[in-house]
Amino acid sequence: MNRASWGSRLGFILAVAGSAVGLANIWRFPYLVGYHGGAAFIILYFICLALIGFPTFIAEILIGRSTQTNPDSAFRQLGGKNWSWGGKLTIITGFIVASFYSAVAGWILGYFIEAALGNLHLFTEPNQVVDYHSTLMNTPWWGVLFHFIFMMGATSVLFFGVRNGIERGNKIMMPLLFVILFLLVAQGLSMPNAKEGLTFLFYPDWSVITPATFLIALSQAFFTLSVGQGTLVTYGSYLKKEENLITSAFPIIIIDTLVSILASVAVFTIVFSTGLKPDAGPDLLFHTLPWAFSQITGGYFLAFLFFLLVTIAALTSEISALEPLIAWLVDEKGWKRTKAVLVAGLGAFCLGIPSALSFNLLKEHTWQDQTFFDWTHWLASDLLIPIGGILAVILVGWKWGADKAINHLMQGASVTFKRSPWLKIYFKFCFKYCSPFLILLVFLSIIGLFR
Ligand code: ALA
């Protein structure tokens, strides 16, 4: 049987961009910037992207493209039998991400429905917004129901396969996402105090930067690029070997970064124009914004568009977190795609239920003061994703060998490398030394070695 592949280069770019652009761009990035010194955080984030994010991103796609198979067998082919555990670990990571990500995205979908029903732009007091949010979060069935509907949405795209499902879905959803984002930015910029929001966003406040900020910037870069969760290896495995990987991957990084910045512009200009501050942390989305929407003309449409934007972004990422397990079940176990999608989707839904209930029924069930959601989120984002990333760069830089890997990278990209010969040095330096060393540093500090 022929292995699935992308129908076009644009299809690959939009699918990977769809995976990258998600809650981390539209929700997390603006509040991190708001909290960690505006442009100072953005500059730190760019450094993390250049030295660690981009090389790891390329390394993972390269592993997939060169082996044309799922992460388990790809790691085995390049590194030998023992490396297959590394590949399996990344698939498990993707699965765990898919579980809690869907629970969180369920709230966003629920908020989109609230916005569509006209319930998110008529608040007259800030407390009402907080109470409204608490009431929803304290309703167990609400979170689980929308977690289920969201998972159904993701699996129904996945059922149709790589070209007709993932690629086609992203070709529809990503342009829609850009249109909505531009509408929101245009609206934000036309508001009375937009300048204040922009000044806050682009003024670098270095006084709040600490070594911990570097870790936060790196984990943001990793999470947003979907590194370490098997997605990039799997999506890379559907890419033809003669594709120019550099010119296909670079626009994705630009799109992902641009979406983060534009989302921040939209959020900051809207929030500042209503006299609020964007430093409320995760509550920015559920408290600050609905209150802001309640105070401006056209609040209904803004709320509707904003939550639609976030739902679409989350859906394309959810799809990509489930695909590695599906590819593994199809490649390694010989399952039909429909059965694999059903089992992966159902499994992630079940694992996501305790996460969805961590804010109500299971709130008191904690271990070391952390709920189930906190634990799974920590396990995947802080532990398994960096491990997956470091394994990929060590596999490429040391086990497979940086020179061999770069030769493979040059396949389809010889003109690009001829035009920019420094790329060879950059990738060799990053694959072999810079990225593994920096990720290791981050990892050690996450597990508390430098506390
Ligand atoms: N890359 C996805 C996001 O940014 C997971 O949310």
Q: Whose CA is nearest to atom 6 of ligand 1?
A: 22
Answer whether 13 contacts ligand 1 (Cβ < 6 A): no
The answer to whether 317 and 19 have CB atoms below 8 angstroms apart is: yes
Q: What is the pLDDT along the chain (451 residues), one digit of tens a residue?
A: 678 999 999 999 999 999 999 999 999 999 899 889 899 999 999 999 999 999 999 999 999 999 999 999 999 999 999 999 999 999 999 999 999 999 999 999 999 999 999 999 999 988 899 999 999 999 999 999 999 999 999 999 999 999 999 999 999 999 999 999 999 999 999 988 899 999 988 999 999 998 888 888 988 999 999 999 999 999 999 999 989 999 999 999 999 999 999 999 999 998 888 877 776 667 888 988 899 899 888 999 999 999 999 999 999 999 999 999 999 999 999 999 999 999 999 999 999 999 999 999 999 999 999 999 999 999 999 899 999 999 999 999 999 999 999 999 999 999 999 999 999 999 999 999 999 998 888 778 777 766 5
Answer whether 260 contacts ligand 1 (Cβ < 6 A): no
Q: Whose CA is nearest to atom 3 of ligand 1?
A: 22
Closest ligand 1 atom number to CA of residue 225: 1
Closest CA to 360 of 108, 150, 143, 131: 143
Closest ligand 1 atom number to CA of residue 229: 5
Answer whether 224 contacts ligand 1 (Cβ < 6 A): yes
- Across the chain, which distance is largest between two alpha carbons, in Å? 63
Closest ligand 1 atom number to CA of residue 314: 6
Answer whether 400 contacts ligand 1 (Cβ < 6 A): no
Answer whether 435 contacts ligand 1 (Cβ < 6 A): no
Phi, psi for 166 (deg, rounded to 5) = -60, -50
Answer whether 20 contacts ligand 1 (Cβ < 6 A): yes
Answer whether 22 contacts ligand 1 (Cβ < 6 A): yes
Exposed/middle/buried for 8, CB within 10 Å: 0-12, 13-18, 19+? exposed
Structure tokens at 227: 């590194």
pLDDT value for 280 = 65
Tell which one of 315, 317, 318, 319 to mutate to probe ligand 1, the residue whose CB is within 8 A of the most ligand atoms: 317
Answer whether 213 contacts ligand 1 (Cβ < 6 A): no
The answer to whether 284 and 202 have CB atoms below 8 angstroms apart is: no
The rounded Å distance from CA 107 to ligand 1 centre is 16
Answer whether 165 contacts ligand 1 (Cβ < 6 A): no
The answer to whether 260 and 29 have CB atoms below 8 angstroms apart is: yes
Answer whether 98 contacts ligand 1 (Cβ < 6 A): no
pLDDT value for 1 = 62
CA 137 to chain CA centroid, Å, is 23
| CA–CA dist 365, 358 (Å, integer) | 8
pLDDT value for 440 = 87
Q: Which residues pair with 367 in a beta bridge?
A: 370
The rounded Å distance from CA 175 to ligand 1 centre is 17
The rounded Å distance from CA 229 to ligand 1 centre is 11
Structure tokens at 171: 């070709």
pLDDT value for 35 = 87
Answer whether 153 contacts ligand 1 (Cβ < 6 A): no
Answer whether 317 contacts ligand 1 (Cβ < 6 A): yes
The rounded Å distance from CA 224 to ligand 1 centre is 4
The rounded Å distance from CA 317 to ligand 1 centre is 6
Closest ligand 1 atom number to CA of residue 97: 5
Burial 21-55 (b: 16+ CB within 10 A, else e): bbbbbbbbbbbbbbbbbbbbbbebbeebbebbbbb
Q: Where are the beta strands (DSSP E) in 208-318?
A: none
Answer whether 327 contacts ligand 1 (Cβ < 6 A): no
The rounded Å distance from CA 222 to ligand 1 centre is 9
Exposed/middle/buried for 360, CB within 10 Å: 0-12, 13-18, 19+? middle
Closest ligand 1 atom number to CA of residue 101: 5
Closest CA to 43 of 188, 221, 196: 221
Domain boundaries, the chain: 9-446
The rounded Å distance from CA 143 to ligand 1 centre is 20
pLDDT value for 193 = 84
Q: Which CATH architecture has domain 9-446?
A: Orthogonal Bundle (1.10)
